[in-house]
């Protein structure tokens, strides 16, 4: 079967022949003639005209001839569908459709500039689309630096930089003072007042709130204090005879239900179950 289109192809008029030979007719022949001769020559040679106005194989709305051939012959190859956006973007100057469209246009335009014989241009263009098809089939999700020794080296340098930067970062003096204040207040069963603590440390409350997690286990002020209270509660459950109500009060919780909820959030067990397990563990240890 013969196909005919206008001379000096760049995108669609090379992409379409590749698509036709690959999925429609391996023996297809392609002819390039001046634009005003396409229809007459098509009739004379019994060829199918394509990629010109007012013929079947052409642009429709925002889609190009490559898209129409895919629909006409119901081509469902996933790689071809990936290519279709790239070809459409390059052929219609809509490079936002696919990031590869701009590259396809640049290479195709350069190829057409270097090769003035249309049939030689088609031959070389076929190789271009074979390569694009292989990429879309096997390498679509692979980045250039993937599995590259340069990527590994960059990753190693970047990791070392972060590690050195972190280790060289001096812990501010207020961090040590704040840890002591928090521990003292937990032991004394006081209510925490971030504003007052900020004043005692001569720090801006907003600054303290923002910087706190960097030095306290990636936890904000409230979460860190609750963690210490639960740790103290666990110690009291394991090593004292206080009731759970007393322990809740001693660790700064306003009521039993609040204590139970926070305790379970941290340990996965409610305090009574945890206490039974602790008592059983102590009994078993003494019996050995």
Domain range for 281 is 173-287
Q: Do 11 and 56 lie in a common domain?
A: yes
What's the order of all strands across the beta sheet hosting 2-6?
A: 29-33, 2-6, 48-49
How many percent of the chain have pLDDT more than 70? 83
Domain end call among 115, 139, 163: 139
Boundary-marking domain end, from 122, 139, 156 = 139
pLDDT in tens, 82-119: 999 999 999 999 999 999 999 999 999 999 999 999 99
What's residue 130's pLDDT?
Answer: 96
| Tally of structural domains, the chain | 2
Task: Look at residue 146 and tell me if it is in a domain.
Answer: no
Answer whether residue 253 is part of any domain: yes
Same domain for 70 and 189, yes or no, is: no
**Alpha helix locations (H) across the chain?**
12-23, 38-45, 65-72, 78-91, 101-114, 118-134, 149-168, 173-188, 194-200, 205-215, 221-239, 244-250, 256-267, 271-287
Residues 281 and 185 grouped into a single domain: yes
Establish if 162 belongs to a structural domain.
Answer: no
Flag whether 152 is in a domain.
no
User: Is 102 found in the same domain as 34?
Assistant: yes
Q: Are residues 28 and 94 in the same domain?
A: yes
Burial class (CB in 10 A: 0-12, 13-18, 19+), 242: middle
Here the CATH number for the domain that contains residue 228 is 1.10.10.60
Q: Is 119 a domain residue?
A: yes
Say if pTM beats, i.e. exceeds, 0.95: no
Which among 107, 109, 100 has a CA at the least distance from the CA of 9?
A: 109
Q: Domain boundary at 139, 163, 183, which?
A: 139
* Per-residue model confidence as pLDDT tens digits over 49-91: 999 999 999 999 999 999 999 999 999 999 999 999 999 999 9
The predicted pLDDT at position 33 comes to 97
Encode pLDDT of 256-271 as tens digits.
787 888 888 888 888 8
- 192-225 residue pLDDT tens: 666 777 787 888 878 877 888 888 888 887 788 8
Quote the CA–CA distance of 274 and 234 in Å, as a whole number: 8
Any domain includes 145: no
Of the two residues 153 and 58, the one the predictor is more confident about is 58
**185 in the same domain as 126:** no
């Amino acid at each position: 079967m013969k196909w005919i289109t206008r001379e000096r192809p760049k995108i669609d008029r090379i992409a379409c022949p590749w698509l036709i030979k690959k999925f429609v007719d391996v023996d297809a022949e392609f002819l390039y003639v001046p634009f005003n001769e396409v229809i007459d020559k098509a009739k004379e040679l019994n060829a199918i005209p394509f990629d010109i106005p007012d013929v079947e194989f052409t642009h429709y709305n925002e889609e190009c001839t490559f898209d129409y051939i895919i629909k006409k012959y119901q081509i469902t190859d996933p790689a071809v569908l990936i290519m279709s956006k790239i070809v459409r973007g390059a052929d219609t100057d809509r490079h936002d459709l696919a990031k590869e469209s701009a590259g396809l246009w640049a290479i195709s335009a350069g190829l057409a500039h270097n090769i003035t014989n249309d049939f030689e241009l088609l031959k070389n263009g076929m190789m271009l689309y074979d390569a694009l098809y292989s990429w879309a089939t096997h390498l679509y999700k692979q980045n250039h630096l993937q599995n590259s020794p340069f990527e590994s080296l960059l990753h190693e340098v970047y990791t070392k930089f972060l590690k050195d930067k972190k280790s060289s970062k001096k812990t501010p003096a207020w961090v040590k003072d704040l840890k002591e204040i928090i521990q003292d207040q937990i032991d004394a069963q006081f209510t925490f007042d971030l504003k007052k603590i900020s004043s005692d440390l001569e720090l801006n409350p907003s600054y303290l709130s923002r910087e706190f997690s960097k030095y306290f286990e990636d936890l904000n002020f409230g979460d860190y204090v609750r963690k210490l209270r639960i740790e103290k509660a666990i110690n009291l459950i394991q090593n004292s005879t206080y009731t759970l109500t007393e322990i809740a009060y001693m660790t700064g919780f306003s009521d039993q239900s609040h204590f139970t909820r926070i305790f379970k959030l941290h340990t996965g067990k409610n305090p009574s179950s945890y206490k039974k397990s602790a008592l059983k563990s102590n009994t078993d240890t003494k019996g050995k």
